[in-house]
Amino acid sequence: MNLILTVFILLLLVALSGVIARFFPLVPLPLLQLIMGTLAAALPAVGLHVDFNPEFFLLFFVPPLLFAESWRVSKREFFQLRSPILTLALGLVIFTVIGVGYLVHWAVPIIPLSAAFALAAVLSPTDTVAVSAVARRIKMPPRLMHVLEGESLLNDASGLVAMKFAIAATLTGSFSLLEAMSSFFVIAIGGLSLGFSVAWLFSWVQDKLIAWRGEELSLQLVLLRLLLPFSTYVLAEHLAVSGILAVVAAGVTVELTDRHRSGALASRMQMRELRTMIEFVFNGLIFLLLGLQLPEFIGRPVRAAYQNAGLGEACRLLGLSAVLCWRCRLCGLCGSGAPCAYPPAGRNGQAHQTHRRCAT
């Protein structure tokens, strides 16, 4: 009963955030949801608490949102700008890991350098939808926006490999560059190949079902497409390749095959509307859950630092937290990155149609 009540409250807060955002168009929707989640956890009258499970988060939230964004990204520009995209996806992530790792180790010397590199690897990959939203808000040149969107789709592989070997170096005290490079190519190429294969098989089965029964199976096809990113991610993780890159490849492949399909109009229209609602709800839940964790994640370490090391160390920890929060803001966490199913009205009364989302 408590679980049902918690889910109901979270969904209610997501809906309320969309309504409130219409009356305060200058307040970014993710920031509003973050504040609502923090208040729901901090206020004694509410005291909402949700146990955070990272594995559940990665499985339940990341695949559908990443699949939708990879389906939406411009494919022509993505392939034309592949050289700068790949350069940023590899070089920029490695540069960020090294720079932020040394910065964290300098700011908090008690953290080992390898552990600081692991933390930097978590922060280094930018979120694809957040980049998209920030780029549109500040009116970036289209070419630069396409490069950043494409890079943010692919940089997770290099970030995950860097985190994996930083953790291994922390636990074992050894590091192998050759092993890291080979592991990166296995994880990245394996994930992309698996995602392409699963999506191509799905499209082939979908074509056969449409040719056999026409539009009668539109609801079933929509359900199968909803399950596609989850199944792709689970299969990739089971085979020890990049589940994130597999989902990206699946989204790109499905969109390319849809371009050459003249039928299934009903299922595509149903899927478009359902995707908009799912993106809005899932992104809202992400920021609400993040807000629910903030009082404990920030308050408990600061109190411990104050009790054990004094006011100076507590202020130092607060400063580091502020730097990390600012890094999240630069990635779009506090920008208008969430999809707005109910966008604020413009001056002429019409709604501004915006594209969207998150981040983990």
Is 298 or 106 the better-scoring residue by pLDDT? 106
The model's confidence at residue 170, banded by pLDDT at 50, 70 and 90, is confident
Residue 276 has pLDDT above 60, yes or no: yes
Q: Are residues 176 and 117 in the same domain?
A: yes
Considering the domain architecture, whether residues 224 and 268 belong to the same structural domain is answered as no
- CA 163/CA 123 separation, integer angstroms: 10
- What's the rounded mean pLDDT across residues 174-187? 76
Q: How do residues 92-116 score in pLDDT, each as one tens digit? A: 888 888 888 888 888 888 888 888 8
**Domain count across the chain:** 2
Environment class of 8 (CB within 10 Å of its CB; exposed 0-12, middle 13-18, buried 19+):
exposed
Q: Are 14 and 138 in the same domain?
A: no
> Do both 25 and 166 map to the same domain?
no
> Do both 256 and 337 map to the same domain?
no
pLDDT at residue number 303:
64
Token pair 């020890």 is found at: 240
Same domain, 106 and 248: yes
Please check whether residue 85 is in contact with residue 154, taking contact to mean a CB–CB distance below 8 angstroms. Answer: yes
Same domain for 107 and 236? yes
- Residue-range definition of the domain harbouring residue 219: 52-260
Contacts of 341 (CB under 8 A, 6+ apart): 18, 276, 277, 279, 280
Asked if 22 contacts 345 with a C-beta cutoff of 8 angstroms, the reply is yes
Residue 329 has pLDDT above 60, yes or no: no
Residues 278 and 322 in one domain: yes
Give residue 345's pLDDT.
38
Model pLDDT, residue 348 = 39
Q: Which of 136-150, 162-176, 197-211, 259-273 has the highest mean pLDDT?
A: 197-211
pLDDT score of 15 more than 60: yes
Last residue of a domain, one of 228, 260, 292: 260
What percentage of the chain's residues is helix, strand, coil (to nearest 5)? 80, 0, 20
pTM above 0.75, yes or no: no
Each residue's pLDDT tens digit, 125-152? 766 555 555 555 567 777 877 787 777 7
pLDDT digits (tens, 9 = 90+) for 34-82: 888 888 887 766 667 777 777 787 788 888 888 887 887 777 888 888 8
DSSP 155-169: HHHHHHHHHHHHHHH
